[in-house]
Amino acid sequence: MKILTGCNNKTSKGNPLYQYLAMITGSLNVICSGMHFGWPSPSLPRLLREDSPVKITSDDGSWLAVMPLLGAVLGSATTSFLVERFGRKPVIFGTSIPYIITWLLVAFSPNAAMLMVARFLAGITDGFLFCTMPMYLGEIAEPRIRGTIGSSLSVNFTLGILLINIIGSFTTVKMTALISTIFPCLAAATFVFMPESPYHYIIKGQLEEAKISLRKFRGNEDVDGEVTRLMDGIKESNVKTAKFTDLFMEKSNRTALLLMMGLRAAQQFGGTSAITFYAGTIFQEAGDHISPEVASIIYFAVQLGMGCVSLMIVDITGRRPLLILSITGACIALFVEGSYFYIHNVTSISTASFSWLPVAALVFYVVIFSVGMQPIPMLILGELFSPGVKAYALGFADIYFSFLATIVSKFFQAVKDEFGIYVPFFTFSGCCILGLIFIVICFPETKGKTLEEIQQNFKGKKPTNNPTEP
Which CATH fold would you assign to the domain 10-458? Growth Hormone; Chain: A; (1.20.1250)
Domain ranges across the chain: 10-458
Is the Cβ–Cβ distance between 368 and 326 less than 8 Å? yes
pTM of the model: 0.79
468/286 Cα distance (integer angstroms): 51
Q: What is the mean pLDDT of residues 27-48?
A: 90
pLDDT of residue 6: 36
pLDDT in tens, 181-215: 999 999 999 999 999 999 899 888 899 999 999 99
pLDDT of residue 2: 33
> Residue 103: is its pLDDT beyond 80?
yes
Q: What is the mean pLDDT of residues 103-107?
A: 95
pLDDT of residue 287: 59
Q: Whose CA is closest to 126, among 220, 14, 38?
A: 38
pLDDT of residue 3: 35
Q: What is the mean pLDDT of residues 323-331?
A: 96
pLDDT in tens, 130-177: 989 998 998 999 888 888 898 899 889 989 999 998 999 889 999 999
43-47, 74-78, 189-193, 292-296 — most confident range: 189-193
Q: Whose CA is closest to 184, among 21, 22, 31?
A: 31
pLDDT of residue 295: 74
> Residue 247: is its pLDDT beyond 90?
no
pLDDT of residue 334: 94
pLDDT of residue 468: 41
pLDDT of residue 440: 95
Burial 161-172 (b: 16+ CB within 10 A, else e): bbbbbbbbbeee
365/329 Cα distance (integer angstroms): 7
Report the percent of the chain where pLDDT is more than 90: 39
- The per-residue pLDDT of the chain, averaged, comes to 86
pLDDT band at 65 (very low <50, low <70, confident <90, very high): confident
Candidate from 2-6, 175-179, 336-340, 459-463 with smallest mean pLDDT: 2-6
157/161 Cα distance (integer angstroms): 7
Contacts of 326 (CB under 8 A, 6+ apart): 368, 369, 370, 371, 372, 373, 374
pLDDT in tens, 346-382: 888 887 788 788 888 888 998 899 899 988 998 888 8
pLDDT of residue 44: 86
pLDDT of residue 239: 63
> Residue 288: is its pLDDT beyond 60?
no
253/241 Cα distance (integer angstroms): 15
